[in-house]
Structure 1
Amino acid sequence: MKTILCYGDSNTWGSDPGGGARFDPETRWPGVLRRALGDGYRVIEEGLGGRTTVWNDPIEGYKNGKEYLIPCLDTHQPLDLVIIMLGTNDLKHRFSLTAFDIAQGAGVLVEVVQNSRAGRDAGPPRVLLLAPPPVATLHERFQEMFKGAAAKSRQFGKYYRQVAAERGCDLLDTAELVRSSELDGIHLEPGEHAKLGLAVAERVRLILPD
């Protein structure tokens, strides 16, 4: 049994861009991934709305992705693969970060996993880094919070790819696969969750063959 940890924010948690309740487990992309991989794989969801890569949020609090990652790895070990999709919340205007800095924050998380003993035989798990999807036209409730985010998010693919090359991990640029919903500009609709889950499953089979 191969064990995969999906570590992310509200798009991993399954937030409905229409403002409704959380999507059900079968709709969320980790659930699609689990179903596509089938027997022999265990998929663990660790999504949290508002989670950043490495930054402390002075308003929301307890959302620093680095702080929770280490105990999370220890909780779920042994892990074969950790999938990281974070960076969207780093785009919030209050952080004043560039796309380059956000990607570097994601790189710190990759290093945490690579330096851990959370894999098989006390070694590190493999890492698949997902560059988050670009921000679309923002709903009014997000316009000030994510001011300037759309342009920065379109640079994610470039800088996340550099981070993956430098850290020697696998990369999937979600901008090539899915689009953020026009309902709020941030979250994924069910069809996009399905496309992302299937694409990740295809990559996982290459990283962790049967």
Structure 2
Amino acid sequence: MRTLLLYGDSNTHGTLPMEGLGASGRFPRDDRWPGRLAKLLPDWEVIAEGHPGRTTLHDDPVEGAHRNGLTVLPAILESHRPVDVVLLMLGTNDLKARFSVTASDIALSLERLVRVIRASEAGPGRGAPDVLLVAPPPIAEVGCLAGMFAGGAAKSQGLAAEIRAAAARLAVPFLDAGAVVQVSPIDGIHYDPEANPALAEAFAVAIRHYFPG
């Protein structure tokens, strides 16, 4: 059985759209897209590593340095090895105003994460895991998170193109989640219930296509 590691943020964790700051609701395990994906890929061990607030490589001065996706990635890879494929979907939290980065910066940060994965020796036979690089859907500045992500909506419109270009530079498969789902109008960041089956199906198709047998 091969291993698929889902490395992401609150939308991999399964966080519900937030009516107010501090809300911590989560979709039931079997309703989350990672749980649905596991059922669609019975010949894979699907491991969900989603951390709310996780950035690509930034220490968060407000929510904590432990949300830095680069810092914790090597330990996660080692703890689950051998890992055949990493589905990497980050970048949304980098759009927070406090980080002041561009869509191009976010794509370059994801490139760095891919290089860490490739150098990790966490794949079978101490090789490099394969990577599926995913662009998160564009965000909206609405609800309780609008101020936190001020200016992020406009940046997010160009994020998929930048990540697609990064995937081409790295020669790794790419999937645009924004072509599959939209963010919730409640908070503009998280996904409504119907996004979970749609994402699970899209990811299952991509995994079977890019990493057969």
- Give me the TM-score of the superposition, normalised by structure 1: 0.96
Deviation at 1:18, TM superposition (A): 4.5
The answer (yes or no) to whether the contact 2:146–2:187 under 8 Å persists in 1 is: no
Aligned twin of 1:63: 67
> Following TM superposition, by how much is the alpha carbon of 1:136 offset from its aligned partner in structure 2, in angstroms?
2.4
Q: Provide, for residues 10-31 of structure 1, a one-character-per-residue CA deviation record: whole Å limited to 9, x for no partner.
A: 0000001044621111111111
> Unaligned regions of 5+ residues in structure 2, if any?
none
Residue 211 of structure 2 corresponds to residue 208 of structure 1: yes
Q: Retained in 2: the 8 A contact 1:137–1:182?
A: no
SS in 2 for 1:190: coil
One-letter amino acid of the counterpart of residue 51, structure 2: L
Work out whether 1:166 is the aligned partner of 2:165. no
Structure-1 residue corresponding to 2:96: 92
Residue identity in the other structure for 1:24: P
CA distance in 2, matches of 1:44, 1:109: 18
Task: Determine the structure 2 residue equivalent to 1:14.
Answer: 14
* Identical-residue share of aligned pairs (%): 46
Amino acid at match of 1:102: I
Residue 137 of structure 1: CA displacement?
Answer: 4.2
Residues 180 and 188 in structure 1, CA contact (< 8 A), matched pair in contact too:
yes
Q: Matched residue pairs, number?
A: 208
Instruction: Please list the CA deviations of residues 83-115 of structure 1 after superposition, one character each: whole Å capped at 9, or x if unmatched.
Output: 111000000001011010011111111111111
1:192 maps to 2:195: yes
4+ residue stretches of structure 1 with deviation over 4 A? none
Q: In 2, distance between residues paired with 1:114 and 1:193?
A: 29
Q: Which amino acid aligns with 2:89?
A: M
TM-score after normalising by structure 2: 0.95
Tell me the SS of whatever aligns to 1:106.
helix
The answer to whether the aligner puts 1:114 opposite 2:118 as a matched pair is: yes
